[in-house]
A and B are shown apart, each in its own frame.
Chain A
Amino acid sequence: MNAAGFPLLSLLTFLPLLGAGIIMFVRGEEAVVAANARWTALWTSLITFGLSLILWFQFDKSTADFQFVEQISWMPEFGLGYHMGVDGISVLFVLLSTLLTPICILSSWEAVQSRVREYMISFLVLETMMVGMFASLDVVMFYIFFEGVLIPMFLIIGIWGGTRRVYAAYKLFLYTLLGSLLMLLAMLLLWFEAGTTSVPAILNLQIAPSVQVWLFLAFFASFAVKVPMWPVHTWLPDAHVEAPTAGSVILAGVLLKMGAYGFLRFSIPLLPQATEWFAPLIFALSVIAVVYTSLVALAQEDMKKLIAYSSVAHMGIVTMGIFTLNHQGLSGAIFQMLSHGVVSGALFLCVGVLYDRVHSREIARYGGVAKIMPSYAMVFMLFTMGSVALPGTAGFPGEFLVIVGAWQANPWVAFGGALGMILGAGYMLYLYRRVVFSRISREDLKALLDLSPREYVTFAPLILLTLWMGIYPSSFLSFFEVSVAALVTRHEAAMALPRLAGM
């Protein structure tokens, strides 16, 4: 049945839901309920993470096929099935989701004091949706998880967010929903054409180029919003600024990857002609995203907003890499998605550390933090370097590979991407200088405490990963090497077909 010998992916997906169910039935005084909810959530997510490590060790890197496959008939009349499995492209995202959830829960240990039970339930449900989305091999299931993410996220931002939380939550929900519904129509057409909703079967469809264009646009409407690509990125800064710290971490760490993952899973293998046709448009949008949002980031006064814009820029690099459609570009894009998940998640945690102490995200409110919180300054420095893509940190291999891939596709695109990297160094270092260095601007800052043991524990895995991914990227690249090669081969074969047919 699969390499683990038991339905591992289903377990990973639904275990958090079980934890949420337990928390739901905790009774007692508010403080007791809160403590129980925290510990239950932490243990559930840790066990899930522990189980997910089986994927890391037992995943067969030498094949591009789906592994750990589970398949059960669900609505046979409609050709709908319950179908799970991971390949090289998705496996690490499952791990990223299971890793970030316990970190988020730990980071909100003290920050969230109201309605702790609901908060923890939301995060566990969110984990179910994220893991389910990356692991599902059925378009309807994919859609269910893809959309289902919105429910907990809407509540997380709306209940535990900042002052303009309602606006931000609405914007996130409606933007994403509108795009996704168009994708649903595309999926329905594929379902109807293939007679089944199984992804591997659908990927074997031969679709006429004229239809491909429409399908591509429908998928694009959903994925571009989720990535987010310029000009539909405007929900992201609002959502990030208003979301509680852990919400931002998950948003930047995993949710933004869902759009890019969608491109990799559906658009490119399924719609080769349309992909080729739209690639210049995507390049243009990506370059605009990289350069424009970097410039916007330079002007920000709010730390979270700055990092949010930097996320848009980094995701621009990802879409650029994906649509180069060559080995380096695609590998770089996937690597960049992973490293961005770790680094930007960590940066939001860094902002959260200061926010928990001072309750302000304004850059001008800080200054000279290095003298008061030296360990914190070190940690923040490392992740800043990761975001800047300094060689030796997680950010570098991905961006470098994308630029190399983009150069082969179009040197001007590579130029745009490189320009973004330079600007990235600009705004991140500028942020770091204003917050951490310079004079101690206010007296009350002197009372700040350095990182607590809990915060060390929160940061430790992210620090480790940032360095590991930068120093020895092969341990990650090797996971998707074969899958990417298969994707490229498949695309080239599909593009060669019409020419062979005498076009």
Chain B
Amino acid sequence: MNWTLILPELVLAMAGLVILAVGVLPKRDTDFATGMAVLGALLLAGVLVVAQPEGEAFLGQYVSNAFTKFMKILVLAGGALGLVLAMDWNRKEGLARFEFAILILFSTVGMMIMVSANDLIALYLGLELLSLSLYVIAAFNRDSARSAEAGLKYFVLGALASGLLLYGSSLVYGFSGSTNFDGIADAIAGSEGAPFGLVIGLVFVLAALAFKISAVPFHMWTPDVYEGAPTPVTAFFATAPKVAAIALLTRVVAGPFAELAVEWQQVLLIASLCSMVLGSLAAIGQRNIKRLMAYSSIGHVGYALIGLAVGSEMGIRGLLLYMAIYLFTNVGAFAVLVAMRRDGRALEGVDDLAGLGRTDPAMALAMTVFMLSMAGIPPLAGFFGKLYVFLAAVQGGYWTLAVVGVLSSAVSAYYYLRVIKVMYFDSGEALDPRPPSLSVVLAGTGLFTVFFFLFPTPFLAAAQAAVAALVG
């Protein structure tokens, strides 16, 4: 039993329990203190992840390698940034409860377990820990009908997805005789052609994971939940859990089911194509910026899935880079959304950004950078994300994916440009001054997005190492 291997998760979980226990004691608001404590714990976990040894633990249920480290760093960064976005917002909305930070922390633990799971049971445990935390924070603004609706919707559909996952897992177990990823891989390698039941099970598992990453046709919950949930919660939903679910999906298809590539490639191909097309077309008519970002995120999942559908090392490397860039760009864009507040009231309309170019040039510039980056305009980071997945598609000869991908990028540029147009070409009143925490997030993510092209090598090298560990 190798306890040191799971140290980051252990530390985080213990910290969560301690903070929870301490948090209930005093009468005063402790949201700031808990928030800081959780941030500290996330940071500590990040350090531990970097220093984590590689190997397997708990009879092969848990694995740690370069790939899981890469993904865990992203997940921890997403969790921490999500919390930073939320703290000031919660206070202004009267939602400053210390449980929020702890829920973020537990969901992060869940995500880390998902990333490292090497067994269907461990996978399910991680996924449920994540999902249960998310259900609660989606409905965190419990006096708001919309927030409660978002939480409920997410819960019902999420439970359905969990059901699909469990059913698929049981089929996989039934036909392969193992819940362990390596065991499943051995069973598939040992059999002549894949057993039909196993393929069905695989499809169920894929469907459940498609739910979590909101790939078409399992995306229906996304716009409603994104719109209803408090804005910083939406920011969190759109980043860390998505990265974790993509990581999980990658590990599942590239690990136990690598031999069945022909089967899952078709599924992912269709999901990727549909997500890109729907994400770009459906966002055009949106007036609510959170719904717009929801469809935008569906589109981005489509582009990321190109890398996986292609099924090559190059493709997975593209996928990893895409998710890393997506995470930071999205956090930045959501920081602007969180800052959208006039006379103390939170705003959600695209038109509420009107005149930002005059009233707050720095934030408007940052938002322009994020929008253009998401549209894939060079030399911003988003362009390189797309470049690598398209390169993988071209290399693998997947011309349909590549051509549909570029066409839908051009379409999606329309609604990203609309945000810029509203900010610069229209006129409107000033927003409330933004809190310093948001300025820091904006500056950090903005600089990352603009200057990614100057120092891509460490990211490429990390992604390369991650892929090598995954496929290796």
Query: Interface residues, chain A, CB within 8 Å of chain B?
Result: 74-78, 115, 118, 140, 143-145, 147-148, 150-151, 154-155, 158-159, 165-166, 169-170, 173-174, 177-178, 181-182, 184-185, 188-189, 191-192
B391 touches which of A118, A173, A192 (Cβ 8 Å): A192
Measured between beta carbons, the chain B residues less than 8 angstroms from A145 are 378
Does B421 contact A166, Cβ atoms closer than 8 Å? yes
Does A150 contact B461, Cβ atoms closer than 8 Å? no
Measured between beta carbons, the chain A residues less than 8 angstroms from B424 are 155, 158-159
**Given known A158-B425, A178-B407, contact A188–B391 (CB-CB < 8 A):** yes
- Of all chain B residues, which has the CB nearest A182? B406
- Of all chain A residues, which has the CB nearest B364? A118
- Of all chain A residues, which has the CB nearest B402? A185
Does A173 contact B417, Cβ atoms closer than 8 Å? yes
Does A144 contact B425, Cβ atoms closer than 8 Å? no
Given A75-B457, A140-B387, 18 more pairs with CB closer than 8 A:
A76-B457, A77-B460, A77-B464, A144-B378, A144-B383, A158-B424, A158-B425, A159-B357, A159-B425, A166-B421, A169-B421, A170-B414, A173-B413, A174-B413, A174-B417, A181-B410, A188-B402, A192-B395
Distance between Cα atoms of A178 and B406 in the complex (Å): 8
Measured between beta carbons, the chain A residues less than 8 angstroms from B414 are 170, 174
Distance between Cα atoms of A192 and B394 in the complex (Å): 8
**Given known A140-B387, A148-B377, contact A189–B410 (CB-CB < 8 A):** no
User: Smallest distance from the beta carbon of B447 to chain A beta carbons, Å?
Assistant: 13
Does A150 contact B377, Cβ atoms closer than 8 Å? yes
User: Smallest distance from the beta carbon of B388 to chain A beta carbons, Å?
Assistant: 8
Distance between Cα atoms of A140 and B410 in the complex (Å): 18
Does A170 contact B372, Cβ atoms closer than 8 Å? no
Measured between beta carbons, the chain A residues less than 8 angstroms from B410 are 174, 177-178, 181
**Given known A154-B417, A178-B410, contact A148–B378 (CB-CB < 8 A):** yes
Measured between beta carbons, the chain A residues less than 8 angstroms from B390 are 184-185, 188
A177 touches which of B379, B413, B421, B457 (Cβ 8 Å): B413
Measured between beta carbons, the chain B residues less than 8 angstroms from A170 are 414, 417, 421
B250 within 8 A of A: no
User: Smallest distance from the beta carbon of A337 to chain B beta carbons, Å?
Assistant: 24
Measured between beta carbons, the chain A residues less than 8 angstroms from B453 are 144
Kindly supply a per-residue 1/0 record for chain B positions 414-451, scoring 1 wherever the CB is within 8 Å of any chain A CB and 0 otherwise. Answer: 10010011001100000000000000000000000000
17 A-B residue pairs with Cβ-Cβ distance under 8 Å, sorted by A, are A77-B461, A78-B391, A115-B358, A140-B387, A144-B379, A144-B383, A148-B378, A151-B372, A154-B417, A166-B421, A169-B421, A170-B421, A177-B377, A185-B402, A188-B390, A188-B402, A189-B394
Measured between beta carbons, the chain B residues less than 8 angstroms from A143 are 378
User: Smallest distance from the beta carbon of B258 to chain A beta carbons, Å?
Assistant: 24
User: Smallest distance from the beta carbon of A379 to chain B beta carbons, Å?
Assistant: 33
- Of all chain B residues, which has the CB nearest A78? B460
Measured between beta carbons, the chain B residues less than 8 angstroms from A178 are 407, 410
Query: Interface residues, chain B, CB within 8 Å of chain A?
Result: 357-358, 361, 372, 377-379, 383, 387, 390-391, 394-395, 402-403, 406-407, 409-410, 413-414, 417, 420-421, 424-425, 453, 456-457, 460-461, 464
User: Smallest distance from the beta carbon of A151 to chain B beta carbons, Å?
Assistant: 6
Does B421 contact A147, Cβ atoms closer than 8 Å? no
Please report whether the interface of chain B is mostly helix, strand, loop or mixed according to DSSP: helix
Measured between beta carbons, the chain A residues less than 8 angstroms from B407 are 178, 181
Please report whether the interface of chain A is mostly helix, strand, loop or mixed according to DSSP: helix
User: Smallest distance from the beta carbon of B398 to chain A beta carbons, Å?
Assistant: 11
User: Smallest distance from the beta carbon of A395 to chain B beta carbons, Å?
Assistant: 35
**Given known A185-B402, A192-B395, contact A158–B372 (CB-CB < 8 A):** no
B379 touches which of A148, A182, A191 (Cβ 8 Å): A148
- Of all chain A residues, which has the CB nearest B426? A166
Measured between beta carbons, the chain B residues less than 8 angstroms from A78 are 391, 460
Measured between beta carbons, the chain B residues less than 8 angstroms from A174 are 410, 413-414, 417
Closest 9 CB pairs of A and B: A181-B406, A144-B378, A178-B410, A188-B394, A144-B379, A158-B425, A192-B395, A147-B378, A188-B391
With most chain A CB atoms within 10 A of its CB, the pick from B361, B377, B453 is B377
Distance between Cα atoms of A147 and B358 in the complex (Å): 26
Measured between beta carbons, the chain B residues less than 8 angstroms from A118 are 357, 361
With most chain B CB atoms within 10 A of its CB, the pick from A74, A115, A188 is A188
Measured between beta carbons, the chain B residues less than 8 angstroms from A115 are 358
Measured between beta carbons, the chain A residues less than 8 angstroms from B379 are 144, 148
Measured between beta carbons, the chain B residues less than 8 angstroms from A151 are 372, 377
Measured between beta carbons, the chain B residues less than 8 angstroms from A166 are 421, 425
Measured between beta carbons, the chain B residues less than 8 angstroms from A181 are 406-407, 409-410
User: Smallest distance from the beta carbon of B405 to chain A beta carbons, Å?
Assistant: 9
Measured between beta carbons, the chain A residues less than 8 angstroms from B464 are 77
Does A185 contact B394, Cβ atoms closer than 8 Å? yes
Measured between beta carbons, the chain B residues less than 8 angstroms from A192 are 391, 394-395
Distance between Cα atoms of A140 and B379 in the complex (Å): 10
Distance between Cα atoms of A178 and B464 in the complex (Å): 31
- Of all chain A residues, which has the CB nearest B457? A75
User: Smallest distance from the beta carbon of B284 to chain A beta carbons, Å?
Assistant: 12
Distance between Cα atoms of A472 and B80 in the complex (Å): 67
- Of all chain A residues, which has the CB nearest B413? A177
Does A185 contact B421, Cβ atoms closer than 8 Å? no
User: Smallest distance from the beta carbon of A215 to chain B beta carbons, Å?
Assistant: 12
User: Smallest distance from the beta carbon of A194 to chain B beta carbons, Å?
Assistant: 12
Does A158 contact B402, Cβ atoms closer than 8 Å? no
Distance between Cα atoms of A169 and B417 in the complex (Å): 10
Measured between beta carbons, the chain B residues less than 8 angstroms from A155 are 424
- Of all chain A residues, which has the CB nearest B361? A118
Measured between beta carbons, the chain A residues less than 8 angstroms from B461 are 77
Measured between beta carbons, the chain A residues less than 8 angstroms from B457 are 75-77
Distance between Cα atoms of A118 and B23 in the complex (Å): 49
Measured between beta carbons, the chain A residues less than 8 angstroms from B372 are 151
- Of all chain A residues, which has the CB nearest B378? A144
Distance between Cα atoms of A189 and B394 in the complex (Å): 6
Distance between Cα atoms of A95 and B258 in the complex (Å): 55
Measured between beta carbons, the chain A residues less than 8 angstroms from B413 are 173-174, 177
- Of all chain A residues, which has the CB nearest B390? A188
Distance between Cα atoms of A177 and B416 in the complex (Å): 13
Distance between Cα atoms of A139 and B361 in the complex (Å): 33
Distance between Cα atoms of A77 and B141 in the complex (Å): 48
Distance between Cα atoms of A181 and B358 in the complex (Å): 32
Measured between beta carbons, the chain A residues less than 8 angstroms from B456 are 74-75
Measured between beta carbons, the chain A residues less than 8 angstroms from B460 are 75, 77-78
Does B406 contact A185, Cβ atoms closer than 8 Å? yes
User: Smallest distance from the beta carbon of A62 to chain B beta carbons, Å?
Assistant: 35
Distance between Cα atoms of A75 and B460 in the complex (Å): 8
Distance between Cα atoms of A310 and B417 in the complex (Å): 30
User: Smallest distance from the beta carbon of B149 to chain A beta carbons, Å?
Assistant: 35
Measured between beta carbons, the chain B residues less than 8 angstroms from A140 are 387
Measured between beta carbons, the chain B residues less than 8 angstroms from A148 are 377-379
Distance between Cα atoms of A192 and B395 in the complex (Å): 6
User: Smallest distance from the beta carbon of A210 to chain B beta carbons, Å?
Assistant: 14
Distance between Cα atoms of A174 and B372 in the complex (Å): 13
User: Smallest distance from the beta carbon of B450 to chain A beta carbons, Å?
Assistant: 12
Distance between Cα atoms of A154 and B418 in the complex (Å): 12
Distance between Cα atoms of A76 and B464 in the complex (Å): 13
Distance between Cα atoms of A143 and B377 in the complex (Å): 10
Distance between Cα atoms of A155 and B55 in the complex (Å): 52
Distance between Cα atoms of A192 and B396 in the complex (Å): 10
User: Smallest distance from the beta carbon of B122 to chain A beta carbons, Å?
Assistant: 33
